[in-house]
Structure formats: structure tokens, C-alpha cells
Chains A and B, each alone.
Chain A
Amino acid sequence: MRRMVIARLAWTVAILLGVSFVAFMLVRALPGDFVQTSAGAQNVASDVLEAARRELGLDRPLLEQYLIWLGNAVRGDFGYSFVTRQPVVGEILPRFVVTFQLTLIAGLIAMAMGVATGLASARLRGRADWIVRLYNGFILAVPNFVVATLIVLVVGLYFPQIAIFNYTPFFTDPLANIGGLLLPALSLALAVSVTISENTRAAVLEVSGQDFVMVARAKGLLPRTVLANYLMRNALTPIVTVTGLQVATLLGGSILVETIFAIPGMGQYLFDSITSRDYPVIQAIVLLASAVVVIVNMFVDIAYARIDARAQS
């Protein structure tokens, strides 16, 4: 077990290095360098550009640039935003918290919906199964930004009293804050809940066929005891794993949903940065979000291995 954890940790570090390298190269190795880009269409003398490049370290070999950038990034220094001239970290962190909150609420909604529908589909079988699978197939085809747009449309048309674009910071009014995040979180959660639902269904069906469930019924236990202690306890592992792996989808989707609902999170910031070609910010956000996904996946793997070790051998 300890060896597995160490191996997984080492692998995570390796992946993070790879991810950081790609994130670095994405911006540095692309046509048109920083200096050129910041100069824009202005006609700047080439020796001025050279001086600027030297100052930014852009004249050094690529690998050296990467190592310097990485060293700074590890210490939390992602450079300065082109637009605001402020350190990127200070700009990102408060927005990261907002995105984290949105993703968390969306994850909880997705899990509740997914487990409920998946369980209904697996236990009731027959028509309920059919309806849930049809619903899942359809919902999967509706992208989150379409859901979000349609929610905004419906609220605008029929419930004008609901103010959807008024983001309230958590510490101003926690209830209003969470309430305001519910609709965005719902649009983010729908597609993810389908994945969870399908996996719940598969997991519950698989566990249902196990001998120990038959033994539990032969004991004369109440159906709710069999469901809670025998079925769900065993089906929960794959369900939690799948939910963990959906963090990437949630983070990616938050960019769109935050933009639509005007939530000042990381996603909207990324969108603004793309519009203004603010490369250090783009780089930092891509790196940060990927790091979150990689690390969450690592925890999921380790947790899974621990439960698995107890269940098997």
C-alpha cells in the first residue's frame, strides 16, 4: 500500500512537470512573442524590442526560460498580468475560490441527481429504467452552455423577479451567494449527473448479482438494510471515483457557465484574458486547473486502491 502511494505520488509529480511544460510551451513557442504581441501594431524600433526581450529573459535558451518560469511558478509567482500589471496570483486566487465554490455545489447536485436516477433505474428496472436511460441520453446531448443560456432565457421571460446576474460575495451574504450559484451549478451539473447516473446503475446492477446480497436477503433483513449496508456500501466506491474524475468536466464547464451568468470566477477571468490575449494569466489558469485535476485524480486513485485492498486479497 505504501509503495503504491509513493509510486502514485511520483507519477503525479511527473505528470505535473509534463503539464507545466506543455502550459509553458503553449504560450512561449507560439508564433509571435510577448514583446511583439504587447507592441501590437505599433511600430517599435527593433533595438527597443531586443532590450525588452533581454529584460524579460526571452533571449535565453528555451529550456532555461522554462526552468526559471517553473521555479517561479512553484513559489507561486506566475508573473504579471499584461492588462492590469498586477501579479497574476493575486488576481487569480479570489476568483479561484469562487470557481471552487461553484464546482463544489455543482458536484453535489450532480451526485444527488445521478445517484437517485441511477439507483431508481437499477432497482426498479422495467419502465423506470427505460425512462431514466432515455432522459440520460437526451440530457447528455444538451451542452452546459446551452442549458445555461436557456435557463437565462426562461428566467428572463417568465421569472423576471429573479435577478440572475447579481453575484453576491460569500462574506456579504452567504445565503444569497449560494442561492445565486444554484442555477449556474444546475446547468453545470446536468451532464455530469448523467455520467454518475450511468455508473451508479452499472455499479448497483453488478453488486445486486453478488452472492452476499442473496445471503443478506436470506437473512430476512429489511429491504432498506440490504440496500444501505450491502448494495450501496459496495456500489459507492465506483460512484465516488467517477465523480472525482468529473472534476475536469466541471472545471472546463465553469468557464462557459461563469461567462453566461456573469460570475466573477476563474472561468470568466480566463475568458476575459483570452479576449485581451493576456498570456501569463491564461498560462497560470491552465496550469492551476490542470494541477487541480491531476491531484484530485491522484487522491481518487489512492482512495480507490485503499478500499479495494480491503475488499479483495
Chain B
Amino acid sequence: MSKADPILRVRDLTARIVTRKETFQAVRGISFDIGAGEAVGFVGESGCGKSVTARALMRLAPEGTAIALDGAVDFHGQDLLRLGEVAMRDIRGRRIAMVFQDPMTSLNPVMSIGAQIDDIVCRHMGLSRREARQRTVELLASVGIPDAAHRADDYPHQFSGGMRQRVLIAVAISCDPELLIADEPTTALDVTVQAQILRLLLRLRDERGMSLMLITHDFGVVAGMVERVNVMYGGEIVEAGPVEQVFHAPGHAYTRALLDAVPRLDSAGQKQ
């Protein structure tokens, strides 16, 4: 499949968040494509709707709220918005997987690291417990956890933030998804660790040929990572294009403001 032939085609996606107290429109009719093996960045300030877009693709609403979706999300010819919940569960984690922002709170504190990868592997790949554990250990090793066989039995509190994010990446790639959504994967981490995690994501994308949707508020993060970038503001995509073009010749005033917010030193460091 060439990049001209997208695996994900989003058209006029709107998302309204419905809580018991109020309803508001978080995403206001956006359209974009993601090609096979392509890395696409979504950049914008917090509250611009980029995280809601990611959750809309996964059809995940936070507990106690609902997301009312409209438009079309074409994934390999299937409209995800019109899929039943049971069929959607087979797509989550199996074909579209997600890495969340805060590794400190994204792992179940009372389950061992290994068990939290075993369960998704068992669920989607139909492996036995033993085979699943073998795969878990391989996955942990591939995301750079040293002594993975032993550490699989450790609990999250025995891991640092960067190591936990590696574990969560291992969870996300465990079933060889076609699309990996990374929602602010480095925001909660130390600067030095941020670069390592980004390099890991890039390497995994190249090795496994999956598509990557990278969501961030920091232009410096996407600069060296993705081919194309979408700039979001107020629930809309205000600018889209190849990363070099947007970076060097921003067309929208908001994009320029975002670019100005990037410390030069940091962006130079990210680009190499």
C-alpha cells in the first residue's frame, strides 16, 4: 500500500462531549488521512480537540461521559463510527492501539507489568498463558527493558516514569497494530527521557511498518518525527501539510504563534 492509499480516511468528524451537566462541541468537522506506514503529527494547545479526536477514533469516552460522533472514519473500508461495540473491541488494541500521556497513572498498580501485557496478548492473539508470557518478555525487551524476563513480575511502582512509558508502548504494540496513536507520550517525562521515547517510537514504526499518529502541543516534538502535520485550534484543523513546509512557511497566524513558542535550542536538538 502506498502513502497515496490511506488506511484511515477521516471525513467531517465532529465530536460532542456529553456529560450529565453539559454538552459541548470539541471537534468541529475535521478531515484528514493517514497513510500506511506514515507518521502524522497533530499539534495544538491543550483543549484544541486533538485528544478528543484520538479518542473518537478509538470510540473511547472517559467514565461518566459520552461522546456523540458524526461524520465518517473509514478504516480499511469499514466505518468505525457505525461499528458495533463488540466489533469495536476487536479493533481496539488489536488494529488501532494507543499510548497515553501519563505513564505514572496509566498502569494498574495492583497487577504485575507482565500480567498487564499478557492480558491484551491473550485477548487478541489467542495464545496460551505460557506463549503470551514469552511474547510479553520479547516485547519488553524490544522496548528496551533490561532483564525483561525477571522484570515482568515486578509491579509498576518499581519502575521509573520513562520505563513505565516503555511498558505502555510495549502494551500498545503487543498485537502488531496497523495504527499507533500516541497522545502526548512524552509530556509527563524528563527532557532527556523524552528524546529516548520519541526515538523508540520512531524505530518501532520503521521496524513494524505501522502508521503513527503523534499528538503533541510541542512543535519541537513533531519536527524530526513525522512526515505531515495537522495544526488544530478550537476543534478545527487550521493548517495541514508536509512538516517542512508548515515549519518553514507557516500559513496561519496560529501556527506562527505555536512555532514562536518553541525554544530554538530545543527544536534544533529534536531535529537532528
Contacts and interface: CB of A to CB of B under 8 A. Distances in A.
Contacts of B90: 220
Nearest to A236: B110
Given A215-B171, A219-B92, A222-B123, A233 B60 contact: no
B92 A310 contact: no
A310 B157 CA distance: 7
Contacts of B93: 218-221
B22 interface: no
A222 B89 contact: yes
Contacts of B111: 229-230, 233
B63 A230 contact: no
Contact of A215 (B64, B94, B155, B168): B168
A211 interface: yes
A168 interface: no
Interface in B193-238: none
B105 A210 contact: yes
A214 B110 CA distance: 16
Interface in B88-124: 89-94, 97-98, 100, 102, 105-111, 119-120, 123-124
B62 interface: yes
B81 interface: no
Contact of B123 (A125, A220, A312): A220
Interface in B124-174: 124, 155, 157, 168, 171
A311 interface: yes
A214 B62 contact: yes
A241 interface: no
B67 interface: no
A219 B108 contact: no
Contacts of B40: none
A125 B64 contact: yes
B124 to A, nearest CB: 6
A220 B92 contact: yes
Interface residues of A, number: 27
A307 B111 CA distance: 12
A291 to B, nearest CB: 32
A216 B58 contact: no
A214 B123 contact: no
Contacts of A233: 108, 110-111
Contacts of B97: 218-219
Q: At the interface, is chain A mostly helix, strand, loop or mixed?
A: helix
A81 interface: no
Interface in B49-63: 58, 60, 62-63
Interface in A190-214: 205, 208-214
Given A219-B120, A229-B111, A312 B157 contact: yes
Contact of B64 (A209, A212, A230, A311): A209
Contacts of A125: 64
Given A220-B89, A221-B93, A310-B155, A211 B120 contact: no
Nearest to A311: B109
A214 B60 contact: yes
Contacts of A214: 60, 62-63, 100, 106
A43 interface: no
Contacts of A219: 92-93, 97, 119-120, 123, 171
Contacts of B63: 205, 208-209, 213-214
Given A125-B64, A220-B92, A313 B157 contact: yes
A272 B123 CA distance: 61
A313 B58 CA distance: 31
Interface in A211-267: 211-222, 225, 229-230, 233-234
A217 B107 contact: no
A255 B100 CA distance: 54
A307 B155 CA distance: 12
A221 B100 CA distance: 16
A234 B109 contact: yes
A218 B92 contact: yes
A214 B111 CA distance: 15
A211 B123 contact: no
A211 B90 CA distance: 21
Interface string A93-113: 000000000000000000000
B108 A229 contact: yes
User: Which of the listed residues A213, A214, A222, A229 has the most CB atoms from chain B within 10 Å of its own CB?
Assistant: A214
Contacts of A312: 109, 157
Contacts of B171: 215, 219
Given A218-B58, A220-B124, A311 B110 contact: yes
5 contacts: A214-B106, A219-B120, A219-B123, A233-B108, A307-B110
Interface of B: 58, 60, 62-64, 89-94, 97-98, 100, 102, 105-111, 119-120, 123-124, 155, 157, 168, 171
Given A213-B63, A215-B100, 6 more contacts: A209-B63, A212-B109, A218-B58, A218-B93, A219-B123, A311-B110
Chain A to chain B: the 3 pairs with minimum beta-carbon distance, closest first: A220-B92, A220-B93, A219-B93
